[in-house]
Chain A
Amino acid sequence: MEKIILEATSTTPRIFFDPEAGYFEISGKSLPENSFEFYKPLLDWMEVYSENPVSQSALVFKLEYFNTSSTSHFLRLIKRLEKLYTEGRSAAVQWYYDDEDEDMKEAGEDFKLLSKLPIQILSRGQELTA
């Protein structure tokens, strides 16, 4: 299974999905013209990954801005990993926010309310060097 690496644009996030590391990062701005078109291939890819995942999977969000139509797709990605988690595999979400960005923090907390998956809400100050 191939990695997905998409560079960021002024309205789409950087995507770094590495199936061998089980590491899936979405960072930057998510305001795609058509969020469905942008996220569908990622959701499909994640579906295939889920059939044969590595021992630990982490979905990492480091967002600056996003539109509400992106949030539904974020939740879908989270739900894909939640399925692995409920099947007994190790899977988690890390949701980063800038210290002064309470809205971003709350957005992460909203996903926490909507998912059984462990979701860590982390200040960018706590960012771990990958």
Chain B
Amino acid sequence: MTSQPNSGPINTESMKDSVAALRHYQAMQQEGLIISYCGTLTHELMTTFLQLADTKLKELQAAKRKQKNIINVLIECLQNAMFHGDVALIEDNAEPNYKSCLVALGHETGEFYIYAGNYLSRKAAQVLKEKLQAMLPMTSEQLHDLYLTQLGSGEISAKGGAGLGIIRILRESNQQITYSFRDVSKDAAFFSLQVKILA
């Protein structure tokens, strides 16, 4: 669903359109992108993205276990991007559209990549950063224990599962993630996540 909503008026000059399409096509090819979505997410779009990813992974003949890993990571990334929630707390919430996000799936020889990016408040960014810093050095056993502790605690927020999503992303990818936070205003930051799944 490579999608660029609200990308402005349609250019009726066919030559320019085809050049733009070629440029996008080449960029996606170079990046190894299979699916890329940029914009505001809804539950319906999330479902569509997952169906498309499922079809493409089957077409690429990814091993069944890897297909599951990738879809599980996408589920959590899409839900995180959709429910990061506290954008309402960002005071300058007019521009850019802080509910907008990026989710993409890429493939290179031997590896799949999931890219996810979303805005969040700088305060929430700090909390997430501290969580990731604490979790990344953990052994898989420690991460599993943390998962069980969190799950067993019975804490359920209205939107999510007590921080289980990020633990699941780490476990599904064998902690093969990179991330960054960039402050974009006095209140807001942009969270970028790249998850690698070996094919």
Give chain A residues whose Cβ lies under 8 Å from the Cβ of B152: 75, 114
Q: Which residue of B lies closest to A98 (CB)?
A: B64
Is B65's CB under 8 angstroms from A72's CB? no
Beyond A101-B64, A103-B69, whether A67 also contacts B151 by CB under 8 A is no
Give chain A residues whose Cβ lies under 8 Å from the Cβ of B65: 100-103
Is A110's CB under 8 angstroms from B154's CB? no
Does B29 lie at the interface of the complex (its beta carbon under 8 Å from any beta carbon of A)?
A: no
Give bound CA distance, A124 to B169, whole Å. Answer: 25
Interface positions, chain A 15-51, Cβ under 8 Å from B, are 31, 33-36
Q: Which residue of B lies closest to A102 (CB)?
A: B65
Q: Which residue of A lies closest to B42 (CB)?
A: A33
Is B161's CB under 8 angstroms from A69's CB? yes
Give bound CA distance, A102 to B69, whole Å. Answer: 10
Is A10's CB under 8 angstroms from B154's CB? no
Beyond A10-B51, A102-B65, whether A73 also contacts B156 by CB under 8 A is yes
The interface stretch among B71-79, B130-138, B181-189 is B71-79
Proximity bits, A69-106, B CB within 8 Å = 1, else 0: 11111011000000000000000000000101111100
Proximity bits, B28-57, A CB within 8 Å = 1, else 0: 000000000000000100110011000000
Give bound CA distance, A62 to B71, whole Å. Answer: 17
Is A75's CB under 8 angstroms from B161's CB? no
Is B43's CB under 8 angstroms from A72's CB? no
Q: Which residue of A lies closest to B72 (CB)?
A: A103
Give chain B residues whose Cβ lies under 8 Å from the Cβ of A73: 156
Does B113 lie at the interface of the complex (its beta carbon under 8 Å from any beta carbon of A)?
A: no
Counting chain A residues whose Cβ lies within 8 A of the other chain, the interface size class is 20 to 34
Does B177 lie at the interface of the complex (its beta carbon under 8 Å from any beta carbon of A)?
A: no
Interface of A toward B, CB cutoff 8 Å: 10-11, 31, 33-36, 65, 67-73, 75-76, 98, 100-104, 110, 113-114
Is B160's CB under 8 angstroms from A11's CB? no
Shortest beta-carbon distance from A72 to chain B in Å = 4
Give chain A residues whose Cβ lies under 8 Å from the Cβ of B155: 72
Shortest beta-carbon distance from B71 to chain A in Å = 6
Is B154's CB under 8 angstroms from A69's CB? no
Give bound CA distance, A100 to B65, whole Å. Answer: 6
Give bound CA distance, A117 to B65, whole Å. Answer: 28
Is B75's CB under 8 angstroms from A72's CB? no
Is A33's CB under 8 angstroms from B43's CB? yes
Does B165 lie at the interface of the complex (its beta carbon under 8 Å from any beta carbon of A)?
A: yes
Shortest beta-carbon distance from A98 to chain B in Å = 8
Give chain B residues whose Cβ lies under 8 Å from the Cβ of A69: 79, 156, 159-161, 164-165
Give chain B residues whose Cβ lies under 8 Å from the Cβ of A98: 64
Give chain B residues whose Cβ lies under 8 Å from the Cβ of A36: 156, 158
Does B88 lie at the interface of the complex (its beta carbon under 8 Å from any beta carbon of A)?
A: no
Give bound CA distance, A33 to B151, whole Å. Answer: 19
Q: Which residue of A lies closest to B168 (CB)?
A: A68
